[in-house]
Structures are given as C-alpha cells and as structure tokens.
Amino acid sequence: MVMELDLGTARPLLEAWLREDIGHGDVTTGAVIPAGMLGRARIEAREPAVVAGLPLAGLCFEIVASTPLSWEAKVTDGSEVEAGEVLAVVEGPLGAILTAERTALNLLGHLSGIATLTRRFVDAIAGSSTKIVDTRKTTPGLRIFEKYAVRTGGGANHRFGLDDAILIKDNHIHAAGGITQAVTRARDNAPHVAKIEIEVENSGQLVEAIEAGADIVMLDNMSPQEVRDAVDATAGRAMLEVSGGVDLGNVAAYAAVGPDLISVGALTHSAPRTDVALEVER
Amino acid sequence: MVMELDLGTARPLLEAWLREDIGHGDVTTGAVIPAGMLGRARIEAREPAVVAGLPLAGLCFEIVASTPLSWEAKVTDGSEVEAGEVLAVVEGPLGAILTAERTALNLLGHLSGIATLTRRFVDAIAGSSTKIVDTRKTTPGLRIFEKYAVRTGGGANHRFGLDDAILIKDNHIHAAGGITQAVTRARDNAPHVAKIEIEVENSGQLVEAIEAGADIVMLDNMSPQEVRDAVDATAGRAMLEVSGGVDLGNVAAYAAVGPDLISVGALTHSAPRTDVALEVER
Amino acid sequence: MVMELDLGTARPLLEAWLREDIGHGDVTTGAVIPAGMLGRARIEAREPAVVAGLPLAGLCFEIVASTPLSWEAKVTDGSEVEAGEVLAVVEGPLGAILTAERTALNLLGHLSGIATLTRRFVDAIAGSSTKIVDTRKTTPGLRIFEKYAVRTGGGANHRFGLDDAILIKDNHIHAAGGITQAVTRARDNAPHVAKIEIEVENSGQLVEAIEAGADIVMLDNMSPQEVRDAVDATAGRAMLEVSGGVDLGNVAAYAAVGPDLISVGALTHSAPRTDVALEVER
Amino acid sequence: MVMELDLGTARPLLEAWLREDIGHGDVTTGAVIPAGMLGRARIEAREPAVVAGLPLAGLCFEIVASTPLSWEAKVTDGSEVEAGEVLAVVEGPLGAILTAERTALNLLGHLSGIATLTRRFVDAIAGSSTKIVDTRKTTPGLRIFEKYAVRTGGGANHRFGLDDAILIKDNHIHAAGGITQAVTRARDNAPHVAKIEIEVENSGQLVEAIEAGADIVMLDNMSPQEVRDAVDATAGRAMLEVSGGVDLGNVAAYAAVGPDLISVGALTHSAPRTDVALEVER
Amino acid sequence: MVMELDLGTARPLLEAWLREDIGHGDVTTGAVIPAGMLGRARIEAREPAVVAGLPLAGLCFEIVASTPLSWEAKVTDGSEVEAGEVLAVVEGPLGAILTAERTALNLLGHLSGIATLTRRFVDAIAGSSTKIVDTRKTTPGLRIFEKYAVRTGGGANHRFGLDDAILIKDNHIHAAGGITQAVTRARDNAPHVAKIEIEVENSGQLVEAIEAGADIVMLDNMSPQEVRDAVDATAGRAMLEVSGGVDLGNVAAYAAVGPDLISVGALTHSAPRTDVALEVER
Amino acid sequence: MVMELDLGTARPLLEAWLREDIGHGDVTTGAVIPAGMLGRARIEAREPAVVAGLPLAGLCFEIVASTPLSWEAKVTDGSEVEAGEVLAVVEGPLGAILTAERTALNLLGHLSGIATLTRRFVDAIAGSSTKIVDTRKTTPGLRIFEKYAVRTGGGANHRFGLDDAILIKDNHIHAAGGITQAVTRARDNAPHVAKIEIEVENSGQLVEAIEAGADIVMLDNMSPQEVRDAVDATAGRAMLEVSGGVDLGNVAAYAAVGPDLISVGALTHSAPRTDVALEVER
C-alpha cells in the first residue's frame, strides 16, 4: 500500500506528545540558553538502520519554534543508513531545538526500529512472492505510525482495526458452534465488502474453512511442513497466512513453501529502538 | 514514590485507544457472536513477569461493555507471576470481552514488560543503596503509564518532563560558555524549588560542577572505576547519577561503587513485551 | 450486520448537540418554569413510521436532568408504529424535559425518517435475495447514526468510509489507465483483506473487470434489462451491485433480475423527517 | 442578518467530518492513483439551485491536500445556477481531490438544498413585507451552517438556541398557570435584553398575551383568515409570527394578510439535497 | 433569572482546572501522606461573605477522590456567612482532600468575592426598582461562573456574549453614520427576537435613539442629575441603563433617580477574593 | 526565569475564550457595520501600568479577522507606560476589530494588573537580594498566563503546580506524625530532583526542619523580627521563604532582614485590573 504519512493528522498528536514532555515550559533551556541564540544541529543514526518518521521529527521542531527554523532532510524515509550518517539538519533558535529534541528522537528511534526490523524480515525472504504483514499488536495510540513504519520497511499492513476486516479466531468459532457456522454467520451478517478470514489449527479445519467459503485462512502455529501441506491442499482456493512462531531464523523456511502472507507481531511489539542522536554543531 | 495510578486520567486515554482499534465497530464479533451471549475468560501470563497495568486492562473491558461485566484481579500490580498464572478473570457479554481483548493485552503486555525489566535491574543491585531510575526516553503519549510501570517494578522516577527539573546537558553547557556559567545561569533564572543537575564527562568537570553549586551530577558514560573515583572526589557534596552504558551485566558493578542513582533508558525504550493472553473458558 | 448502537460513543456527541441548542442556558425554561416542578411527558409519532434512535432520545433527557428522571421506552428501535402511538414516556424535572425536547426530537425524527424509508425499499423487494444497501452520501457528522438507522430499517451497510473497502470509480479508472490496470494496482497495493469493487458503465467493462479479478462490480445507471444481462454474463464470478436511478417505483424491477445488492443514496440524503412530538401530561 | 460564514469556526468541524469519511486513509486512492499525479476537476450543479456552502467545499480540498492546490469559485454563495453550471474548479493533487470529494459534495448539496428551498419560499411572497424565518428543527451539529444556508437563500434566522431569546410555548404556559403569569414570570426573571415571544392558539389568548406585554406572538396553526383577524386585533402592538402548516402552496396567502414573520421548519428539516457532482477533466 | 448552576457543563472545566494544578501527580501528598489515610476537613470563611460556588468546590473533591468521599454543604450558595463560619465538611481519603484543596478554594474564593460585592451593590439600592447588572468584563474562560455568582449575589445578568443581544456602542454608531442609521440597520438586519440597545452620551442622542426606535438606551458616564433628566425625557418609551463611573458610594444616588438598570463592570473584574480556607480536623 | 510566552499553547485557549464571547456570531457588528469596512484603532492605557499580555491581545484580533489585519505593538511586555499611552495599533476589517475587542482587553487588563502590582512589590524592595514570588492562588485556567505576568512584572515563579516541587504544609506534617517524619518520608519517596520545602510556624519547628534536611523553609505568618531571628538561626543552611501577611506597606521591612524569598498571593488573586481601552480612529 502506498498511502503516505498524513502530516495533517499527525500534527495534533505531535502537539500533545510535545506537551507531554514540555509541560508548562522547558525550565533548563529557559534558564540556561541565552535568549535569541541560534544553532545548527545534525540528527544522526548511531547504528545501521532503515529510517522512518523523519518528517514527524522535523514537524516537532517546527511546532516548538516560534521564530524561523529550517529543516533539511538528508535522506528519505525508507533509506538504509550507516552508523554515523546524517539524517537531517535543523537550524534555528537553539532553545527550541533543544526543547523539541527528545520527543523528536523518541519518535524517530521508535519508528526506525520498526522499519529496520521489518526490512530484515523482508530481506530474509527476498525472491519469494510471500508478503510480510503486521498485526494489531501495536502500541496504544501509535497504530497509524507503526503501520506506516512497517510499510516503510517494505512490509504490508494487515487490517487496521476491528472495523475494516473480518478475522474469525478460535473464540469466535467456539461461540458460533464451529467453523462452518462461523463462516456462514459472517457471510450473512458482515458487510459485503469484507473478505472473510478465519484461523485454523489443523488440516481438517483448513478444509472445512475453505469449503465454508473463507477467503483467507490463517494457519496458526504450524511448522513449515504443515504449511506446505496446507498450500497443497488449498490449491489456490483461498489466501493462506502463516501466523505464530515466526522469527528471522525460520521465516525463509516458511516463505519457501509458498504461503501468501506471513504475519509477525514482533514487527510492532518488539522492534528494538534505533539509536539516533542530535548533535549541535560548534 | 508511591503515587498511585490515576484511573480518572487514564479513562479518556483508554477510550481513545479502544476507539483506535474498534473504529466504527468490531465487525467480526458483530457478525459471528450471537447477541446476548455471555462468557468467562482468564487473562494469563505466558511467561514469568512482574505485572503492571492490570487495573487499566480491567477498565478496557468495562468501557466496552454496555451490560454488566465483572472483573476480578487475581494478583496486584507489582506481583511476580509464573508462566501460566491467571492474572484476572473477566465475565460478562462475550462480544465485549473479545472486542476489548487486544487493546487490554497490548497495554498489559507493554507495561508488564517494563516492570519486569525494571525488577531485574533492581534485583541485580539488591543490598545497595543505589536507586534505579528511568529517563525521558519513553514512548510518545505513554509516559505517565510507563513511569508508573517503572515504579511498579521497584524503580524510581527521574523527572517527568522538561518542566519539573533542571538538567543541564552538554549542549546547554556549550551554549552557556562553560559549566560554571551554566550552573550560575540556572541558579539565577530557574525556579528556586528545582535542584540543579548537570552532566559531566570527566573528573575535572565534576569538580567544577560541584564548586559551581550543582545539586546533582550526572556522570556520562563512565566506567565503574571512574564512578568510584567520582564518588570519592564528591564526598557527599552532591548526588551522583550514573548514566549511559549500563546493562544487566554491569549494573551491579556500578552500584557497588556507591552512586546515588543509576538511570537506564532501556527500561522504557527496550523492554521486551510480556506475553499475556486471554482464554475464554469453555 | 447486527452491531448495536454504541451509546458510549454517542454520549459525547449528544452532549455537544445539546450544547449547540442550550448554549449558556435555556432562558425561557429558567424564567418561566417553577423551580423543582415535576412533569410527565409522552413521545409520540404523528405519522406511521419505523422507529430509530429512541435510546438516543432517552439519553438526551438523562444528560440534561440533574435530578432523577425516568425514561421508559414503549417500543424498540425497528418497530413499525402508527400515527399517535406512544414511543416512550419520560418523567422527572419538567424544566429538563422541556430543555432537552428539541434535540431529542430532531434526532429521533431524522433517524426514524431514514429507517422508515429504508423499510419501504426493503418491503418493496420482499421475497428476493437482493440486499438494499446505503452509500456514503450521509450528513456530515452523523454517519454512524444514519447507517444504524439503515440497519434498523432492514437494510445493510455498504462501506463506512474510504478506509474499510476498495471502490474504484470512473475517475480512478481513468487515472490508472484502464480497468485492468486499476484492478491490478488495487490488488498489488491495497490491503489483502479488502475485496475489490469497481464501477462499470457497460457490458464490455463488466467483462474486463471480472477478468481482471474484481470481487464486486457496481453497475452504474443501468436499466433492469441491462442488469439482467450483466447477471447472466457474470454467472456468479463476482457480486453485482446496482447503483443509480433506483427509486421505490422501480426497485422491484431491479431486484427481480437478480443482482446481489442495490444501493440507494436517498436512504440517507433524502429521507423525509418523521413527525414526532412531545406531549406533557396535564 | 449579514453575518458571514466563519471559516475559522468551520475548520475543526470540517476536519472531523473528513476524518469521519477518511479514517486511517483512502485505501482506493492510495492503491490506484499514481503518486504525484495532478488533476483538475469541476464542481457542477446537476439541477437548478441556489448555491450555499461553496467556501466550505473549497476548504475540504485544502485540508486534505498536502501539496499546493488551487480552488477557484465560479459563483458566490447565494447565486442561482442552472443545471450543468460550473460552481468551482479545483486543481492540484488528484488523490487529495478524490479523497475530499464526497465530504465536500455532501456538505455543498445539503446546504444548497436548504438555500434553494428557502429562496422558493421567499420568491413566493415577493412584494410583501413579511419575513421567512427558520426554526430550531435543524440537524444536530449543523445548526450554524443550516442557518447560514437559510440566510443565503434570503430568509432570516429565528433564535439560534435556547439561550438567545424567550419563546414561551404551550407547555411553559400550562406550567406557569396561564399566559399572563407566564409573561410576567418571563419579564421578572429573564434577561432584560430579550424580547418575549409567546405562542397562542386563538384570539382570546392573543389578546391576553398582548395585554400581558408580549413583544412577539406566535400564531400556532391558524388559517390565513385567522391570521388576518389577529393582525387586525393586534394593531401593531406586537410582532406576529405565523407558525405551523405553511407550505409553498399557501405561504402567499399567509403573507398577504400581513404578519411580520412566517416560520417554516421544513427549510432545515426537509429540504431535498441539491444534486452536485465533481468531474475530473480529461 | 433563576437558571441554576449546570454541574454537567462544569465538570469537564473543573477536570481541566484540576489537571492544571495537579499535572502528573501531587508529589508532596504522594510522598508524605500514608496510603489509605482518611481525614475530615472543614471549609471555612475567614471573613464575612456571600457564598457562591460551593457545589463546584464539592465537585473538585469528588473528581480527585478515587475512593468514597462525602461532601456536606452547611450553607447554600447565596447565604451570608460570618468570619469563621463552616461552609462545608468533606470527609474521605486525606490525600485526595489535600490534592484538590487549592483548586476548590481558588474557585470558591473567586466566585464568593463576586457574589459578595454584588450583594453590597444590591443592598446599597434596597427599596428601589432598579436592577444591578453585570457586563462582559469577565475573566476569560469563567464567564458562565462569574455571571452565576452575580445572580447569586442578587444581581441580574446583562447579555452573555456578542450573540444574544444587540448593543450598539459609539464605534458602531460612527461606522453606521449616526444613531438613526445604526438603529435602522440593526432593525433591518438583526434577529427579530433581539431588543436593540444603544449607547448615548447626551440628551440629544437620547432623543434621537428613542425616536429611531431603540428598546434600551445606555447612558454613558452621566451624572445622577443627567440620568434624572434622561428618565424624564424618556417617559417610559425605552428602558434606561446607567453605565460608567458607578461605585458603592454613588450607586444609591443613581438608583434614586429611577433608571431601570445600573451596570457595574467591577462586579466581575475587580471583586476582591473572599478568604476561604480548609482545616483538617485533628 | 526567562521563559517566553508560548503563543502556540496560547492560541487554542484564546480561540476558546473568543468563542465564549462571540458564540454563534456578533449580531451587533453583523447588523450595523457595513461589510468590508476597514478601520484603524489604538489600544491605550487609561492609567499608569506595567504592560503584560500584548502579544495575546494581538493574537485575538488575528484569530477573528478573516481578511488581512495588521497589528503593531508600540511597547513590549514589561514596559512601564503612562495614562493615555498607546500600546498598540490594529488596522484591518473594522467588524473583526470590534468583535475581538472585549476579549483582547479583558486579557490585557487582567495580566497588566498582575504585572503592575508585582512591579510595585519588586520596586518596594529594590536593593535587596530577596525575590518576590507568586503562589498557586491563581485563577482557574489562567495559571501559565498569570505566572508569565508575574515574571513580566519582575517577580519570580514559585512552583507551577503540585507536580513540580515538594511543599509540605501543616496538614501534611500532622498526617506524617511530625516535621522530621514528614521530611524523611519526602526524601525517601519523592523524586530525587525535587527540593524539599516545608512550612513552619515557629523557631523550634524551623530548627527541626533544618536538621531533618529541608532545603527550603517557609516561615508562616511571622513578623519581620521573627524572620530576622530565623535568618540568623538558619545561617544559610536552607533557603527561607516569608509567607503570609505581606503587603506593600511591610514588604520592605521583611526584605530588610534578609530572607531569600517573599511569596505574595495577592499578586495573582487580588491585583486590580489595569484600565485599557480601544479607540477607533476617525
């Protein structure tokens, strides 16, 4: 999906996040930095990374500055950068730069961490036609940004929330009385525009799901061999998504047997933060 | 600090986070779960952890449910739990339980991860008088919760934001023209209620900071031996905070030489999520 | 779809709408109605209707009242009522009842109008397997309520917004360079959970859309005969939606030829308001 | 009244309404429209109308676009236009134009419908000194816009809400113990800046109201002949407002007998939407 | 006017004001007060006063407390109290009581100050039929509360804002080209429900205003003798409002000559705060 | 402290305050002022004052104006001005100027009143090293502005709220079981960055507080002689703050005996409003 980052939507969130850090004012900067002092600073990566969130970081500085400030990105989101590489240069009122620094870096480091981990998964299955997708295991309040970071890293997005797709999980199946009943209820009651995805745990359930008319089947915690069998049994009648137990060590083995999708919760819930820093030039 | 979690403040944030996931409605649950169906589910830890955020998880279910729902916590925040241990039981409208599940677990897993990592650091220096403190490297929008999780894990909080303490870092020092000048400006201009903390990189700066009247000195990226020397040189004239390069492997070595505080950014920016799950009883 | 009306989401909207009418206070009621006076009033339909929004009306009175007030619905949303039929009885502080009256009736009359018109369309095609669905031609700010009213009247909902389904219209097709290109781009770039719907204007385009892999085809402004031909040509390979030019006079003719869906913008943009009134008992 | 449309107030409402439609993103446009593609589109009327809300429509496009976009209105609000007439031309990023289209048209069509219906009532009584005024029977959340549309159509506004005028209706009269008592209470208790309007049902009540000192009397559901008698009996001692049962067929007969005001709820609660469309130029 | 204080509207404002003071938490109370400690405290007046805002103060404590808390008002708003008199007793979690104390007292002291000053003006003209009214010279954000305090003190409210009454001042007159033109424009263009008030500076303008049809005339900065002449010249054809230069020393002289209204900006912009305090019982 | 006024934070508050006054529109200006009329007006002081809030006043006019408007400040915040002195000139749409006038002046007069009173206290102790500081006795919702006005007048700010400093008052002491216990609890539980201030009522308590390790001691309602004794007894081991019973008549006597700080609640809760006015040029 090629949707761009919507800075209009982001702005009020950034304002709230800056307010979370700044409160009634940055007392250190207010007391120590001479009024009107200008400065120029570089945003740098301190480790190799795929950059995500650079426009958000720039917007942080612009929001805080009350006098003119320039922001020049040196790379674009999605770029692979080296340790020490300069990502952007910000120039303007030094006080504002130091006040906005932490929020900007917290966001940039978090999103770049997600993009970087996603890229590793994508690279690990290079050459296959399988897509790496995210999950709803995101940080509360950050979903649109974290899913943007996944796209930036080369992954694709699974559903954004409970309202834009049908995904029938084991608890739904049990409550409905079985796979066939659950799929039938979904078809009868859900919006006609939504595909029906259902989670299965074995090949018997897979067959029942396909025959009930599921559009997508999520294979829960299966081995690569089990996935291979599922691909064969499905024969293109439904999309297949591998879910559970996937890591960088085994993702290639899963991709090799031909599922359409591999979903990885860790992309958004366990990506290590990318170390980024701001250096004032002297 | 013994401030409790403020559920009144939390509620509108939880409502926004639930809205982020639910949007205009949970179409799967709406289509598949029979209207009025009741259920009972357990929240379980899937790995050993220190629990944090359980009241928030409970509030998620209460917010979503429009008919009576009971929430019974089996442990309290701060408890150490085993893999498989039941943290809480929720009983009521099954649809609401499934709709709120993901947001509740995302929050509980994230905060428990922070509390668990904090506890490990605290345990690693058991017996010392040094405090483990957090930093401002938190996830945007979640600071009050993440700092609560740090306290829950046994750590203490450093400043909450730029407005409640003075922390003079290298860029401030350079702009002010030196350590003495920076501390002097802070004393003259900052609120009299704030202690003055300043970051130093070597023993010469430490001495200058103390003589200028700093209340707290942050020792940036020093070795345990350097910290020992600093403790000796300071002789109680200021609080000392170790910052940078601390991990579970070396934290005990740092604590052993007697600093007042050790700050660890990883507590909030790199704590792995605790695996928690919801199991509907059948 | 069986999603219920979410009163939790509705409450802040109702509060804002009451504030729109009440401003800094109801000066007439404040000046004229004796303090503490109690009253009992009936909400009545003044014309035959399908009721929708009754819980919202009740919530209006509860929000305004600062002393105990009882609300008793005499019918449920979705009921067909006669002229003069009592829909609910509200009893409590008379001032609050009169202050909340207009907002409650404006909402109830608007939503009941939509449910009533929807029911007429649904009744007009009784016996067919075709579904009546709404569009995005809703009143700004009221979409979730208007779509609820459509469901209450027996219709089904099309997509809720631009984010929960793919609907490729003529302008998209032209920009992409043709139907095949547009469907291909959608398949490659859009979330895998979304079905792909595309608008066509003739049988040639229909064939191209199906062969390109569209899941749903919207037949734009076709006659019943043209729709019949399209149903035959499609032979179940895609869902078919009739759109444009449908009214109560011809909807049965369209349904008779077997499309899956008929969408009617007038359900939400031209439903006449149902006349409802509040009568204080004396 | 010549108050202009306040775009500053409108902006956050438009942003919320666009968000209602766009959610986390326009997935169709994101997937199908090539990035950076520019376009030029015309907003056209598809039936004769009085235009209202054109600046709001323009603002919708500006809000959505993140790169430069031009909006050129070809007519002003209040203009009478023919079917096919171009109302405005928008030029800029094609994706943004298509994303904002529906919200812009929903608003423009709704408000133009109100202005058009109002103009018909005003034209129907051309030559008289009677004013056509609206009521509080508006769509929740849209009152300031709908009342603007009434003014645009040539009507005048009755009170905006419960806080800016006194209007004593039958339920107030009954609670106060009679017309004289109600008017007296209003005079004693209400702000001195407010005129006192009271609703009456017959000539006896009219006389009592005038003698009690009412500034304006609303004649409820009277025939033109009854209104004529009321005008004679009043002899200029109060303003007279005709209310109830007025339509395009009889409004001239009412105006002919000389009331000051005729209020018409249908202006805002039953105006048919004006059909407007956006055509991308090719 | 007898409109009561609307606690529903007040609650979100109180929450915001408490948040202004509490921020991320009351660190003193959190650190020093033992968890779970209960307490009982009296709210007392430290000087004679007319009480206003007591329900708001009570609501402050309820909002902050997360465990049961009782609030018992000992007097009602509008009561005259002596120095040392107990206004209310609050009992519950001691930490919450101390945390809410300052915001509750700030509000109670501010509003009681306004009510007390208003009462003095009202008492100073006891026996006359003139009303003491307020102005729009209120504290930003507090208008509905300050106008409530004026009513509580026995005064009446002038208009609430620019939208609920016509008040033509000298700048308007000059722009319109004169008094007659200004009144005529107002009559032609303003809502028919609004009375027309105009400010005049001398008797010639007064006559012109009345003949132009003004409903109310504001006499700007006139002496009691000039007001007496104006009352005679007006002979009941319009209401007369004295404005400017009125204080407790001369208000009786103004009232003695018979104007309908005397407006006093100082009621809301210069009322000294009433000294109120919270005493924890030991 | 040299923190500047943050107009970014101020803007939404100003918008809300303007909305409080303007509501759905300025009906007088809308009716009386010819559309498109331009004007030029001076903001003047009508009494000697220290100006505070001028940028906020300017922003009010800019927010209301929908066509270009120029604002030229003639003095800066903090300037001492004479009666009649022009503070700023605003030029642009006359309607917008008159609509924004009252809110702009209410704010400017309120803040200038605070700055002016603060300056008088500061001037009264000129030559001493004591600082005049404010308290938390501010107007709800206006704290950041009122504290800015104190700084503008030459005072310093005490803590901003309950979250940025420790201040142990008599109720805390009693609950903790004594001064020593309270200070100890604060040291153990509160953030290490906060100084510990404690209120004492006599010299015995002062000694206990200092020995317990308090950083700042507030001397409650002591005479200048008692303060002198306290200064002597303290001998620089803690900061001393005089609180209670200070006015312009005795502040110099207090400052003469050498405390570090004198806090004055009246700065924010009893400063008389500065009389400021807007004059349209003719």
What are the residue ranges of helices labelled H in chain A?
A: 7-22, 27-32, 54-64, 94-124, 143-152, 170-176, 179-189, 203-212, 224-234, 251-256, 266-269
- What local confidence, expressed as pLDDT, does residue A10 receive? 86
pLDDT tier, B270 (very low <50, low <70, confident <90, very high otherwise): confident
Domain definitions of chain D by residue range: 7-122+271-281, 125-269
Bigger pLDDT: D190 vs B71: B71
Using an 8 Å CB-CB cutoff, list chain F residues near E107.
140
Cβ A268 vs Cβ A135: under 8 Å: yes
> Smallest Cα–Cα separation from D27: which of C181, A10, C167?
C167
For the question of an ipTM over 0.90, the answer is yes
- What local confidence, expressed as pLDDT, does residue C282 receive? 85
| Helix or strand run (H / E) with residue F171 | helix F170-176
- What local confidence, expressed as pLDDT, does residue E190 receive? 84
d(CA D108, CA D116): 12
Q: How many Å lie between the alpha carbon of C16 and the closest alpha carbon of chain D?
A: 8
Q: A3–D19: do the CB atoms touch at under 8 Å?
A: no
Q: What is the pTM of this model?
A: 0.91
**How many other CB atoms are there within 10 angstroms of residue F86's CB atom?**
15
- What local confidence, expressed as pLDDT, does residue A190 receive? 84
- Rg (chain E; Cα; Å): 23
d(CA F19, CA B156): 43
Give 10-residue mean pLDDT values along chain D (282 residues): 61 91 91 93 98 96 92 97 98 96 97 97 97 96 96 95 93 95 93 92 96 97 97 96 96 98 95 94 88
d(CA A113, CA A268): 9
Chain mean pLDDT for chain A: 94
Check CB contact of E25 with chain B, cutoff 8 Å: yes
* Strand-pair partners of F199: F218
Using an 8 Å CB-CB cutoff, list chain D residues near E239.
192
Cβ E146 vs Cβ E114: under 8 Å: yes
d(CA D17, CA C138): 11
Instruction: Answer whether residue C1 shows pLDDT above 70.
Output: no
What are the residue ranges of helices labelled H in chain E?
A: 7-22, 27-32, 54-64, 94-124, 143-153, 170-176, 179-189, 203-212, 224-234, 251-256, 266-269
Q: Tell me which chain E residue has its CA closest to the CA of residue B148.
A: E24
Supply the DSSP symbol for F266. Answer: H
Catalytic positions of C are 102, 137, 169, 199, 220
d(CA B281, CA B265): 39
| Helix or strand run (H / E) with residue C219 | strand C216-220
- What local confidence, expressed as pLDDT, does residue B42 receive? 97
pLDDT per residue over F209-240, tens digit each? Answer: 999 999 999 999 999 999 999 999 999 999 99
- What local confidence, expressed as pLDDT, does residue E1 receive? 32
Nearest beta carbon to residue A163 from set C131, C160, C167: C160
Q: Tell me which chain D residue has its CA closest to the CA of residue C143.
A: D20
A220 is an active site residue = yes
For residue E18, the Cα-to-chain-centroid distance in whole angstroms is 22
d(CA A270, CA A247): 11
pLDDT per residue over E26-35, tens digit each? Answer: 999 999 999 8
Q: Pick C7-122+271-281's CATH classification: 3.90.79.10, 2.40.50.140, 3.30.300.90, 3.90.1170.20.
A: 3.90.1170.20
| Helix or strand run (H / E) with residue B211 | helix B203-212
Bigger pLDDT: E184 vs A192: E184
Cβ neighbors of D68 (< 8 A, separation 6 or more) are D92
- What local confidence, expressed as pLDDT, does residue E4 receive? 63
- What local confidence, expressed as pLDDT, does residue F5 receive? 65
D147 is an active site residue = no
Sign for the pseudo-dihedral over CA of C188, C191, C192, C197: negative
d(CA E230, CA C273): 53
| Helix or strand run (H / E) with residue B42 | strand B38-45
d(CA D75, CA A101): 48
pLDDT per residue over E191-214, tens digit each? Answer: 888 899 999 999 999 999 999 999
Q: C164–A192: do the CB atoms touch at under 8 Å?
A: no
CATH number of A125-269: 3.20.20.70
- What local confidence, expressed as pLDDT, does residue B24 receive? 86
Supply the DSSP symbol for D71. Answer: E
- What local confidence, expressed as pLDDT, does residue F270 receive? 87
Chain mean pLDDT for chain C: 94
SS3 E73: strand
- What local confidence, expressed as pLDDT, does residue A78 receive? 96
Using an 8 Å CB-CB cutoff, list chain A residues near B21.
136, 143, 161-162
Burial pattern F246-259, b for ≥16 Cβ within 10 A else e, equals beeeebbbbbebbb
Check CB contact of B63 with chain C, cutoff 8 Å: yes
- What local confidence, expressed as pLDDT, does residue B178 receive? 96
- What local confidence, expressed as pLDDT, does residue A270 receive? 87
Q: F31–D1: do the CB atoms touch at under 8 Å?
A: yes
* Strand-pair partners of A133: A156, A263
Instruction: Answer whether residue B64 shows pLDDT above 80.
Output: yes
Cβ neighbors of C202 (< 8 A, separation 6 or more) are none
- Rg (chain F; Cα; Å): 23
| Token pair of B279 as six digits | 């199991």
- What local confidence, expressed as pLDDT, does residue C2 receive? 38
| Token pair of E241 as six digits | 């409002």
Cβ neighbors of C9 (< 8 A, separation 6 or more) are B19, C144
Cβ neighbors of A208 (< 8 A, separation 6 or more) are A178, A179, A180, A200
pLDDT tier, A153 (very low <50, low <70, confident <90, very high otherwise): very high
> Smallest Cα–Cα separation from A151: which of A111, A202, A184?
A111
Residue D257's alpha-carbon distances to B46, D144, D222, D266, in angstroms, are 82, 31, 12, 22
d(CA C56, CA C7): 7
Burial pattern A170-195, b for ≥16 Cβ within 10 A else e, equals bbbbebbeebbebbbbbbebbbbbbb
Instruction: Answer whether residue F243 shows pLDDT above 50.
Output: yes
Chain mean pLDDT for chain B: 94
Q: Which of B11, B19, B27 to mutate to test the interface with A (most CBs of A within 10 A)?
A: B27
Q: How many residues does chain F have?
A: 282
Instruction: Answer whether residue B5 shows pLDDT above 70.
Output: no
What values do phi and psi take at E7, rounded to 5?
-65, -25
| Token pair of D175 as six digits | 């609670």
pLDDT tier, B1 (very low <50, low <70, confident <90, very high otherwise): very low
| Token pair of C204 as six digits | 């040639």
> Smallest Cα–Cα separation from A198: which of E214, A186, B241?
A186
Q: Tell me which chain D residue has its CA closest to the CA of residue F16.
A: D9
d(CA F260, CA F267): 18
* Strand-pair partners of E91: E40, E70
For range A190-210, the mean pLDDT = 94
d(CA D146, CA D140): 10
The per-residue DSSP string of A190-212 comes to: S-TTB-EEEEESSHHHHHHHHHH
Q: How many Å lie between the alpha carbon of B109 and the closest alpha carbon of chain F?
A: 26
pLDDT tier, A1 (very low <50, low <70, confident <90, very high otherwise): very low
Cβ C263 vs Cβ C242: under 8 Å: yes
pLDDT tier, C66 (very low <50, low <70, confident <90, very high otherwise): confident
- What local confidence, expressed as pLDDT, does residue A5 receive? 65
d(CA F16, CA F142): 13
Check CB contact of A160 with chain C, cutoff 8 Å: yes
Instruction: Answer whether residue B125 shows pLDDT above 80.
Output: yes
> Smallest Cα–Cα separation from F32: which of E177, D126, E241, B261?
E177
d(CA C251, CA C255): 6
d(CA F188, CA F181): 10
For range B205-233, the mean pLDDT = 97
